[in-house]
Amino acid sequence: MRNEQAAGYAAAAAGFLSGAPAALLTVSGPGAIHAIAGVSHAATNCWPMLLLSGSAEVGELGKGAFQELDQVAALRPFCKYAASVPSVGDVGRVLAQALRATAMGRPGPAYVDLPTNMLLSRATPSFSFLHPLIPERVRAPAASVAAAVALLKTAQRPLLITGKGAAYSGAEKEVQQLSNRFGLPVLGTSMGRGLLPDGHPLCVNAARSTALAKSDVAIVVGARLNWMLHFAEPPRWAPDVRIILVDAQPSERDASVAAATLMGDARVVMGQLLQEVLAQGLNPSAWRPWVQQLTTKAHAATQSLARRLSSAPSSPLEYYGALGVLRHALQNLMPAPLVISEGANTMDMARLILPVRAPRTRLDAGTWGTMGVGLGFAVAAAATAHSSNPQQLVVAVEGDSAFGFSGMELETLVRYRLPMVVLVMNNAGIYGGDRRPDALAVAAQRGMQAGGFASDPSPTAFVPYARHDQVMSAFGGKGLRATSVPELQDAIAAAIHSALQDKVPALIDVILDPMAGVESGNVHSFNAPKAKL
């Protein structure tokens, strides 16, 4: 890849998608520093990852050697395990510890430092570390499972919430069985969606606020009770909700909030819960009015979205019109495409408009709200898809700002002929273009030609109508541009054909109305109130 930062995001995503740690290799000093972006992202999202970096000679620290840095100290705050290999005979032992750390309990990153002298010495291969490195899936104690089911039996308004830990563990079959058998409504977090496909009658993602606010017993599987789940606190949750937490390694805080904690692997524990519910027996008829309430709400939201999509203007394009075209183009593709989305408005709107049909087919900015992950994710996702199912399409829907962080990785996509379509949602800036009258006047004079900005551009504005498609063409990929609904329909069809049939990745520069989009997207509540000057 072209830069350690994007490669780090790729390794982090590959861990989530494949269920096993991927390794990132970097040079010493600045290479290890750039890698911290990906390592910290893996840590914050609980994804396994191994970083291997070269480093200055053992015993030389302090002399000012080439790219000298105490890398173990630099990486330690973000890693479950960080160590330097003291001598070549220790490589196997240190690697085994590092790999186990990535996957045991709560997954996360590990760091192994390989000093220069190590790289120049010869090792006798030691296979002692080839014992199973990925730990066995842990079961929850039977008594805890029985107590959790007893609690579930008291529910009037139960809810099953699936997080990315449930997706990572591959719990979809168990989740579907429990939900279908007992009519249990399921809510997915943004990357925990798809275990029950959007569109399934018991999937209540479209009634999220009501589901969270009214549920009286919530089974939370592989999701932390952090900001993304509003800390499980009122007013977003009922004050007397009782939570059954299923997690490989819950935090002390989350375990204190929960009424019952089942510590173990999500897939295994969901299977245990299913068996126990079958054994104890459960009469879900008390839930019917609740399920009815949620499905009615979800249905109304789905209808209202459909109306907005069908009434979106053809040109200038805005989010509903553009993503509506993509939604239509992807809906029947088999297997379900893997969709990456990032950028403030782009990510929020993609979450709303593009359904998640299968587990582990959606990647976004994640728990840390990291922007700039998309192209790194794209390389990992497309490489994973390419090796497991060459007909699976990968689509990255990128805000123009988010795209810019690692746009050069387009070259990597082209070089490996990955089955990839990138859409750049080009609204000439972060949240949108420069909306001051003088800037709009200058841009208008040039029509849709690149260039034309005010003499003092707003700090959130980019060059209007920049040609991202030409960057893709410059690398030998397929570059396309769309300014209206019919143009975008044609461009998406051509791009999918190019990526899947010709093995040439494609990029579509989607020219949006610079006035489309709002400041900070869905997280504007985090902004400070506007100062009164």
C-beta of 265 vs 398, nearer to Mg ion: 398
Minimal distance in Å, beta carbon 155 to ligand ADP? 21
- Nearest-CB residue to ligand ADP? 165
DSSP letter, residue 288? H
Q: Smallest distance from the beta carbon of 462 to ligand ADP, in angstroms?
A: 30
CB 238 within 8 A of CB 259: no
Pick what 399 binds: ligand ADP, Mg ion, none; C-beta below 5 to 8 Å, kind-dependent. Answer: Mg ion
Binding residues for Mg ion, rule: CB under 5 A, are 399-400, 427
Residue 84 or 249 having the CB closest to ligand ADP: 249
Pair 337, 395: CB distance under 8 Å: yes
Nearest to 219 by CA among 273, 168, 290: 273
Cα distances (angstroms) measured from residue 421 to each of 19, 353, 374, 395: 24, 18, 12, 5
400 touches, from ligand ADP, Mg ion, none (C-beta below 5 to 8 Å by class):
Mg ion
Overall residue count recorded for the chain in this entry: 533
Report in angstroms how near the CB of residue 372 gets to Mg ion at its nearest. Answer: 13
Shortest Cβ 274–ligand ADP spacing (Å): 15
Please identify, using beta-carbon distances, which residue of 412 and 427 lies nearer to Mg ion.
427
Task: Closer to ligand ADP by CB, 140 or 439: give it.
Answer: 140
222 contact choice in Mg ion, ligand ADP, none (CB below 5 to 8 Å, kind-dependent)? ligand ADP
b/e per residue, 457-469, with b = 16+ CB within 10 A? Answer: bbeebbbbbbbbb
Token readout for 36 is 């911290």
Instruction: Give one DSSP letter per residue of 357-400, joined into a string.
Output: -STT-EE-STTTT-SS-HHHHHHHHHHHHHHH-TT--EEEEEEH
**Pseudo-torsion of CA 209, 339, 308, 464, nearest 10°?**
120
Residue 186 beta carbon to ligand ADP: minimum distance, rounded to whole angstroms: 13
Binding site residues, ligand ADP, CB under 6 A: 45-46, 106-107, 163-165, 168-169, 189, 191-192, 222-224, 226, 228-229, 247-249, 265-266, 367
For residue 271, the minimal CB distance to ligand ADP (Å) is 12
Q: Which partner from the list Mg ion, ligand ADP, none does 320 bind, CB cut-off 5 to 8 Å by kind?
A: none
Question: Which of Mg ion, ligand ADP, none has residue 427 at its interface (CB below 5 to 8 Å by kind)?
Answer: Mg ion
Distance of CA 194 to the CA centre of its chain: 13
Helix (H) or strand (E) holding 293: helix 288-310
Given the complex with ligand ADP, which of 166 and 422 has the nearer CB atom? 166
Report the nearest approach of Mg ion to the CB of residue 426 (Å): 7
Provide, for the chain, the percentages of residues in helix, strand and coil under a 3-state DSSP scheme, each rounded to the nearest 5: 45, 15, 40
Q: Can you tell me the distance from the alpha carbon of 348 to that of 355, in angstroms, rounded to the nearest whole number?
A: 12
Picked from ligand ADP, Mg ion, none, the partner binding residue 80 (CB below 5 to 8 A depending on kind) is none
Q: Which is nearer to ligand ADP, 226 or 293 (CB)?
A: 226
